[in-house]
Amino acid sequence: MSEHPSLSVPPEDEFFRSKWVEAPNGAEFHEPAVLPDGFRAGGVACGIQGHGATDLGAVVCDSEELDSAILLTANAAAAAPIRVCRENLRHGAIRAAIVNSGNANAATGDQGIRDALAMREGLANELGIDPDSVAVAETGVIGVPLEMETVLAGIPALAADLEGEAGRLGAGRFSEAIMTTDKWPKRVSLTVDGITLSAQAKGAGMIEPGFATMLCFIQTDAVVPEPEAALRQAVEGSFERITVDGQMSTNDTVMLQSSGTSGRQLPAGLLDAVLLQLALEIVADGEGASRIGRIEVSGAADRQEAELVARKIANSPLVKTALLGRDPNWGRIAQAAGQALAGQDIGELGPEVIEAGDIAGGGREAELALTLDRGEARAHVFFSDLTHEYIVINAEYTT
Amino acid sequence: MSEHPSLSVPPEDEFFRSKWVEAPNGAEFHEPAVLPDGFRAGGVACGIQGHGATDLGAVVCDSEELDSAILLTANAAAAAPIRVCRENLRHGAIRAAIVNSGNANAATGDQGIRDALAMREGLANELGIDPDSVAVAETGVIGVPLEMETVLAGIPALAADLEGEAGRLGAGRFSEAIMTTDKWPKRVSLTVDGITLSAQAKGAGMIEPGFATMLCFIQTDAVVPEPEAALRQAVEGSFERITVDGQMSTNDTVMLQSSGTSGRQLPAGLLDAVLLQLALEIVADGEGASRIGRIEVSGAADRQEAELVARKIANSPLVKTALLGRDPNWGRIAQAAGQALAGQDIGELGPEVIEAGDIAGGGREAELALTLDRGEARAHVFFSDLTHEYIVINAEYTT
């Protein structure tokens, strides 16, 4: 079997490395990562993952003018931390988040709920804040109860890590604390137009033999008038536009906090660009991925139809293996589109309406398009190719 | 990487080799295959595939009391032969079918329609029958016009092959003529309760670098009072219950012809058992498959919900790789079910409602189950595992 090199880790000064992202003009990148004014973060090795991995982290906003928003997975079998955030969290006033990696606390029943509540209470007590202002997020294996003694013992050390200069520069350790089998950390810290924004994401599809998870935390000192609307718009254009294997996680969480201390508005498009680049990093790090495809479906009857067709193409293992094999096989795109609209008649779709040449000729980022003749609506989806490494990861490393 | 042996070709005397099929009592199997009274079949190498492969076949019923039914793919981008069969065929009086392998005649535009019509006219003229009583089915690469000179030149040879003793024993050659990259022919010829039934199927998912196709032809001398209802019921329990890669073909065709010359009714359950075994052969021969899973979802609110959840599980690459890796990872089943019902809340699904032990402990045929707590409806789906060979087949053999 031939070797398919994985996408490489980007140099730190090229965060906006995708051709599909409109990078903001004049941004200054910080390395090591700094947090915006009013924020602290940290991470410690508490022993959930073992072998010394940083696996417990927190991010805190101390600003009075705190604003926030959080988006959670729609999976009907959601994990305990998601349920706790859905039901017990003040979404507009999230001061802090506590996150562990190595255990998703999913399918753990009532005990899981109690453990998630205890985690956030532990941090809230250390910080002297209301537990309902602390989000909890977890990622890793499922169906295994958290070792709560280990976790609770780690919280004082975590609180200490948030103090002083360490806490102001702790974005890197927090970023490490949320990783499971990600090949590289997905984060950014930049200043542009007088505001600073930092973000940390993790996710690589389902690399963990149990569940993997997509997590993302964003901090800014900008003023964000409607954080939930801003976050929802940015997520719709980024994390909701990607697929690795079509599998929705039980633990997905995206959270935005703004301290407003810069007194300046968040520049238009910045959040969208940052989240899109982070989303593309997740696709690039997705379970053996070697290339990223972007399929755009236009001429659909409505947005829902465009989305349905684009997703069917992006999740087709035939299209994904064609992307790997650099086979500009437009027939597989036609077949998937025809299946998406099964029972209707969209005629035969040929190369006059399908652009697939980038599969063979394009680089790491291949652009595909299908033009239907049913209306004006369009939608696009980013997806990874399907490689031998996906099977090695998911079949040969058993729990 | 470890080797995953493919399922082996069954010995001819063990047609009903799946534990999931209720084999009819007292059936006598014919080898070489014979056709029921009133039928002829044949196959020749006309040169579509090249290298001497049998690639043009036909089956004909000469009985006056002919009855028939045909079911065609619902793919919205259906191929030319499907369109011809939809629009120009007398579904209750199909005397003959002409089939080629090597070219699916899909996405070939108006020329494709003309070619499909010319194919059936060619056979109709040779046989002296109405073209509207001849079905046409095609399978192979897509987007390439048929070489009609080659095909038309082969039709007289095919007609000659249908004559006399050769035609009465031609089921084997017909079965060969419809194969593309199938590893073994999928066919049966048996007598039970005084009636004879033969069937020929092909399909292995999308092994062909263009489209592959699921085709099945059934002949019997039994009386079948409502052939379309009987065929639809048998297909619902067989070909509509399988998935290899979740990809619906543009060319799927299943056709039943009965001559009625035995004067006896088709035994109850026989058609269902034959089609289910043939469907399972297609899964077993599916793109590198080494094992077959059967997921049963019960306790669903309605049949549609049960079906939705079962298909989401059966098509999950995580479940399929777990089946390969013998990893009884019930969390992947829970995750897929939760995704199928995204936006609702079905609670956390744990091992108390998920049976996945057969993934590790079972043999070639593994039985999985999920019990929901929402109603009384149930549905099941058969599926193949996802192996390295799938990727080799679909990525590394380019067009």
- DSSP letters, A73-139, are ---TT--HHHHHHHHH--TT---EEEEEEEE---S-HHHHHHHHHHHHHHHHHHHTS-GGGEEEEEE
Between chains, do B348 and A106 touch, taking CB under 8 Å as contact?
yes
Distances (CA, A) of A184 to A178, A180, A284: 12, 10, 10
**How far is A27 from chain B, CA to nearest CA, in Å?**
38
Name residue, tokens 């699921």: B214
Amino acid present at A164: G
Spot the catalytic one: B213, B250, B253, B261: B213
Q: Which two tokens stand for residue A323?
A: 């992307």
pTM over 0.90: no
- Cα–Cα distance measured from residue A341 to residue A327, given in angstroms and rounded to the nearest whole number: 24
Give the helix/strand (H/E) hosting A199. strand A195-202
**Which of helix, strand or coil describes residue A235?**
helix
Q: Does the structure's ipTM exceed the value 0.90?
A: no
Q: Does A335 touch chain B (CB under 8 A)?
A: yes
H helix runs in chain A, sequence order? 80-88, 109-127, 148-161, 164-168, 171-177, 227-236, 270-284, 303-314, 317-325, 330-340, 357-361, 388-391
**How far is A398 from chain B, CA to nearest CA, in Å?**
6
Q: Is B213 a residue of the active site? A: yes
Calculate helix-pair angle for B330-340, B317-325, nearest 10 degrees. Answer: 160
Give me the tens of pLDDT residue by residue for chain B, a chain 399 residues long.
233 333 444 444 588 888 888 889 899 999 888 999 999 999 999 999 988 999 999 999 999 889 999 988 877 788 899 999 999 999 889 999 999 999 989 888 899 999 999 999 999 999 999 999 999 999 888 888 999 999 999 999 999 999 988 999 999 999 999 988 788 888 999 999 999 999 998 886 643 334 456 788 999 999 998 999 999 899 888 888 887 766 666 778 889 999 999 999 999 999 999 999 888 888 888 778 899 999 999 999 999 999 999 999 998 888 999 999 998 888 889 988 988 898 888 888 888 999 999 999 888 999 999 999 999 999 999 999 999 888 887 787 544
Window 108-147 of B, Cβ < 8 Å to A: 108-109, 112, 141-143
Amino acid present at A303: R
Query: Count of CB atoms within 10 A of residue A361's CB?
Result: 10
Window 282-321 of B, Cβ < 8 Å to A: 316-318, 321
Window 215-254 of B, Cβ < 8 Å to A: 245-250
Q: Using CA coordinates, name the residue in chain B closest to A245.
A: B317
Between chains, do B76 and A341 touch, taking CB under 8 Å as contact?
yes
Spot the catalytic one: A196, A213, A220, A250: A213
Name residue, tokens 């053999």: B397
Between chains, do A327 and B75 touch, taking CB under 8 Å as contact?
no
**Which of helix, strand or coil describes residue A209?**
coil
Between chains, do A392 and B75 touch, taking CB under 8 Å as contact?
no
- Cα–Cα distance measured from residue A166 to residue B392, given in angstroms and rounded to the nearest whole number: 50
